[in-house]
Amino acid sequence: MHNEPSTVKDSYQEFLSSFEIDKEALYQWGITATIFPPVSAVATAWNDLKSRVFTNQRVYIRGYGRDAHGTQLYKDLYMALLNNSHIEKDPTNNAIPHRHIQQLTGLRRNADVYNYQVSHIWGHTKNVFMFEAPWNICYTPKLIDPFTGHETKGVWPEEYQQLFIAYASEKYKTFIDEYNQLMQEHCFAEKIDRYLQSIKHTISDRTFVQFEKDVYSELSPIDR
């Protein structure tokens, strides 16, 4: 019988300790090196997005399900909740946020900035208010990506993400509060539940259970 290892090994800690990199300094660098769209530009783009949502104009979301085959479920949902029949899947699942952040910051990847990637701060990429939300996207340094990706585990990524979200939440407080209000007014739980019950027998039980879970997650308020 093999004995369990007596210590837990974290490769992030091993690497940073080996090169004597201070944890707090790294966290601060990650936040300051991230390129956030300026608030003034965000305000204009946010108003444009809300207008498109509520006037039945084209708005994009990320594809849902394997090979995006489930995207129609969200499109039908938004027709019922918001009376918008022009919800579309992003052609590449990230093309529209790339275009928006370039316009918002005036910076192009691999031309003005290198080794950055476009990230959604809070996720919710199947949410019609969030996928294009200018306050939900930023340029993240690829060096800090190991601390921000959803697949990362461990104490260090958790600590960094808490600090990062706290910073972004304060920076975009006004827009988050407005978003949360919109969720209460237009995507409240009772209305979603009525819609879900209306389609329950039109799709398989397995698909319904997963979609129900995902919808409530995607259309949830942001906890500040």
Residue 92 in this model has a pLDDT that exceeds 50:
yes
Residue 147 in this model has a pLDDT that exceeds 90:
no
Residue 1 — very low, low, confident or very high, per pLDDT cuts 50/70/90? Answer: very low
Q: What is the pTM of this model?
A: 0.90
Average pLDDT on 36-51 reads 98
Structure confidence at residue 16 (pLDDT): 81
Q: Give residue limits of the domains in the chain.
A: 22-218
Structure confidence at residue 188 (pLDDT): 75
Question: 99 by DSSP, 3-state: which?
Answer: helix
Mean pLDDT lowest among 13-22, 31-40, 191-200: 13-22
Residue 3 in this model has a pLDDT that exceeds 90:
no
Q: How far apart are the first and last CA of the chain?
A: 48
**Cβ distance 37 to 138 under 8 Å?**
yes
Residue 4 in this model has a pLDDT that exceeds 70:
no
Helix-then-strand count for the chain, H and E = 9, 4
Residue 152 — very low, low, confident or very high, per pLDDT cuts 50/70/90? Answer: confident
Average pLDDT on 105-130 reads 96
Average pLDDT on 12-28 reads 87
Helices (H), the chain: 11-18, 23-33, 39-54, 71-82, 95-105, 155-171, 173-186, 189-199, 205-218
Average pLDDT on 10-34 reads 89
**Cβ distance 124 to 62 under 8 Å?**
no
Tens digits of per-residue pLDDT, 173-213?
A: 999 999 999 998 877 788 899 999 999 999 999 999 999 99
CA angle 139, 96, 160 (to 5 degrees): 30
**E strand or H helix that includes residue 197:** helix 189-199
Mean pLDDT, the chain, integer = 92
Q: Which residues pair with 87 in a beta bridge?
A: 59
Average pLDDT on 206-222 reads 95
Residue 146 has which token pair? 């190991």
Mean pLDDT lowest among 30-34, 74-78, 187-191: 187-191
**Residue 19 carries which DSSP code?**
T
Distance CA 37, CA 21 (A): 28
Structure confidence at residue 136 (pLDDT): 98
Residue 148 in this model has a pLDDT that exceeds 90:
no
User: What share of the chain has pLDDT > 90, as a percent?
Assistant: 76
Distance CA 150, CA 65 (A): 17
Contacts of residue 206, Cβ cutoff 8 Å, sequence gap at least 6: none
* Total residue length of the chain: 224
